[in-house]
Amino acid sequence: MNRLVSESRQSRAWLLPAVLFTFLSTYLLASQASAETGDHHQAYLDALDTVMTAQTRIDGEMTRISNGTVAHYDFLQHEHIELLRHASALRHPPTQMSASARDSVIAHADALLMAAESLELVIADYLRAEAQLSGAVSNTLDLLAAQSDQGLANSELSHLQELAHAATDFRRGNTAETREVLYAAFDKVASLDIGQTWQNELSVQGYLVRNNSAEAASGPSKLAMAGITPLAEQLREAYLAAMTLQGS
What band does 72 get if pLDDT is binned at 50, 70 and 90? Answer: confident
Is position 142 within any domain?
yes
CA separation, residue 91 to residues 54, 144, 235 (Å): 17, 54, 10
Residue 91 pLDDT exceeds 90: yes
How far apart (Å, rounded) are the C-alpha atoms in residues 44 and 38?
A: 10
pLDDT band at residue 25 using 50, 70 and 90 as cut-offs: very low
What's the domain count of the chain?
A: 1
Residue 193 lies in a domain: yes
pLDDT score of 16:
45
Transcribe 5-74 into DSSP letters.
Answer: HHHHHHHHHHHHHHHHHHHHHHHHHHHHHHHHHHHHHHHHHHHHHHHHTHHHHHHHHHHHHHTTS-SSSH
- The domain of 134 spans 40-247
With respect to residue 200, please indicate whether it lies within any of the assigned structural domains.
yes
Q: Could you tell me if 215 and 125 are in contact, meaning their C-beta atoms sit under 8 angstroms apart? A: yes
What's the average model confidence in pLDDT over 27-46? 64
pLDDT of residue 95: 87
* Spatial contact of 229 and 52, defined as CB atoms under 8 Å apart: yes
In a domain, 14, yes or no: no
Tell me what pLDDT residue 149 has: 80
User: Does a structural domain hold residue 29?
Assistant: no
Average pLDDT over residues 201-205: 96
